[in-house]
Amino acid sequence: MYAEVVQGNTTSLRTSPHGRSRILWKEPGLGLKWSVVRLSDRPRFAVFELPSRQWQTGDSGADPPEPDGWAKMPDCKPVFYFADEFTYRADNDEDLETVWHQVGYPPKERSDVIALHSSTGLLPSKFGEKDWVWCFWNEYEGRWQVLAEYEDHWRFQLLEPLRPCGTALAQLVLYDGTYCPVALTFSVVDSIGIFKPEETSSGSSGGPTPIPAGTYGFAKHFADSDKWEVYALGEGCCPKSSSSSSGSPSSQSTSPSSEPPSVSSEPSSVPSSTPSSAPSSQPSEVSPSEPPSSQPSDEPSSQPSESPPSESPKSKKPASSQQSDKSTAIVPASWSPTGYAALFIAEMPEVRFDDVMTATVVEDETLLPIDPKFMEVCEPGSVQVCGCVPDLPVPVGAIVENGAVHVRLGVRDGDHPISLTIRLTGIRKGFSSQRFPDRTEQQFIANEEFIRSAYPGATK
């Protein structure tokens, strides 16, 4: 037997089959009687209505301390049966409660999901806005806890081909305005052989075709196998501009206004036997890996080092006596007296793209997926980690494996999440053999004129 407050009555309580105040003793008889009541006693079970789909994370620094990073939902309304209305509904007059979903994580990915939720606010939750959930009151912790398992259907994008009855690395896809991958990887398995044989040109059936990397799908977690088993595939609905990593291939290498990948600020090799006034009928010298250009050059070519002019430039000054110019990006600058400033473009002996990833890791070993677009524009096998900086002083190693960065953390104090900034580098596709390629004096002069064309009227 419980007691409850009657609205507008400040002199007595009303008996009730449920409530927050338990009646320990009551004077015999009917009507208004004395009783001993233990206040703030809670029912053991209750139904709550969730106010939103955005689960929050616990804070160990709160007062009292909370489970750090674990999913909670504040401002939940209790749901009751209203006899006069013959229906159930959320009670707007009751106090709001916070409920916790401590069993809302799959076993193998529990730490990764908590880290993802803490760093991004995104969670593959089972319940969302206006859902009704059963909860029980945990006397030991003093918290309402959801009586339901984790979400065992996950969207994913393959990071590598999935072969028949095989396993592949995948990236979790969550909804945050769009259905796009997030920084959490897990393995999916084809448990039923979902692939059809490939049809050959002769009409006969060939071998089974793997599902290519980049394919989207659904997977369900099964307890008997402890695996995420694929049951549906699709092309995905993530906008093409979305990316799971924080950067994209270097703009200085892909922008039409930037320096072509093979342009050198100085000639790598200037043959002394090639005069600057060589006749147009004589072919220009090129490296063995590049064909000679047959394109006329009445105007400066957009890629002077790859397509040199067929006529010698007017400049008669030997290359050895003139300095090389430098490609720049010209940007608005408030500090400059002219209103603009130049940034010099970085140069290397090879044509490379760089990318930057940021991620938060908890486990000692973690796989972080690399943007598939970045992998596609680089030579296969050329992408490497060239920098990895943690936010705390802990040993860390990183290596590229199967389209992902394999991160290993050394011995550390505690198991706090570690924020990493990772720099990747890879050789641009089609330029694997281009390292310090040879150029001619004609190409050097044409390149200088092309660079100086950004400075009309200037000699330098």
215-to-135, 196, 202, 238, 376 alpha-carbon distances in Å: 38, 16, 27, 11, 14
pLDDT tens sequence across 95-149: 899 999 999 999 889 999 999 999 999 999 999 999 999 999 887 788 899 999 9
Q: Under a CB-based contact definition with an 8 Å cutoff, are residues 142 and 168 in contact? A: no
Residue 167 CB contacts under 8 Å (≥ 6 apart), including other chains: 187, 188, 189, 190, 227
CA 168/CA 186 separation, integer angstroms = 9
Domain range annotation of the chain: 2-38, 45-146, 153-234, 265-347+438-460, 352-427
Token pair listed for 188: 């999916």
Residue 306 pLDDT? 40
Mean pLDDT in residue range 142-164: 93
Between 317 and 193, residue with greater pLDDT: 193
- Please choose, from the candidates 130, 129, 118, the residue with its C-alpha nearest in 3D space to the C-alpha of residue 53: 129
Mean pLDDT in residue range 289-297: 40
Mean pLDDT in residue range 181-207: 73
Q: Under a CB-based contact definition with an 8 Å cutoff, are residues 420 and 359 in contact? A: yes
Q: Under a CB-based contact definition with an 8 Å cutoff, are residues 352 and 424 in contact? A: no
Mean pLDDT of the chain: 79
**Is the pLDDT score of 251 beyond 80?**
no
**Is the pLDDT score of 284 beyond 60?**
no
pTM, entire model: 0.46
Phi, psi of 373 (to 5 degrees): -65, -40
CA 113/CA 71 separation, integer angstroms = 10
Residue 25 pLDDT? 85
CA 277/CA 317 separation, integer angstroms = 10
Phi, psi of 442 (to 5 degrees): -60, -45
Between 343 and 180, residue with greater pLDDT: 180
CA 450/CA 177 separation, integer angstroms = 45
Confidence tier at 33 by pLDDT (50, 70, 90): confident
**Is the pLDDT score of 428 beyond 50?**
yes
Confidence tier at 44 by pLDDT (50, 70, 90): confident
